Amino acid sequence: MVSSMDEKVVAVIMVGGPTKGTRFRPLSLNIPKPLFPIAGQPMVHHPISACKRIPNLAQIYLVGFYEEREFALYVSAISNELKVPVRYLREDKPHGSAGGLYHFRNLIMEDDPSHIFLLNCDVCCSFPLPEMLEAHRKYGGIGTLLVIKVSPESASQFGELVADPVTNELLHYTEKPETFAEGVYNSKLGVTILGDSVAVEDEVVVTSSIVLPNKTLNVSVQDEIIL
């Protein structure tokens, strides 16, 4: 186990590609969705600036299948502005979140990070990343997902984790469910921590999980917005 003083943390932000972001059309036809201005900054700026608060952050990778030239100026500017190394990694085709990690596993793992943050660029929330890392260290496990409680009526729009209302034990996980199990519904916020017990080339099988309430982080997690 690496001590918190010696650990290195890497953040990977998935930015998609030109075949994605259809909900922003026609606005996204002339500018990549991750660079579209939200609250005065490119969309991807918000998770990047949130990552700067992570202790012992060594590197931020943006993974997508836009042309490199579309991100070159922004990556250079944000690296200088935040004093955090940011690098864009272009996929040869869409691989998805897990596939993107695997495709660039040698680069992502070259500094032997103790934790990997995996984020989606199109989620706006309060991003309690340092608190999330602290909770992950405290409660252990191979990984930690940031989720928010939702109604069953809205559950079909997102990846859902269903928890026992009494024990908080995770009962069921599904992506955009069409049928509904009994329990408390929690929607993924597109923020995940993978610990050092997970190798990027592993296939992870979750056998037991607990959904922890907001008070575990000592912060209030705002409702997410999927853009």
Catalytic residues: 176
Residue whose token pair is 């596993």: 105
| R_g (Cα) of the chain, nearest Å | 17
208, amino acid identity: S
Q: Which long-range contacts (CB under 8 A, 24 or more apart) does 202-211 make?
A: 204/142, 204/143, 206/142, 206/170, 206/173, 208/169, 208/170, 209/141, 209/161, 209/169, 209/170, 210/139, 210/167, 210/168, 210/169, 210/170, 211/147, 211/161, 211/163, 211/168, 211/169, 211/170, 211/184, 211/186
Distance of alpha carbon 21 from the chain centroid? 17
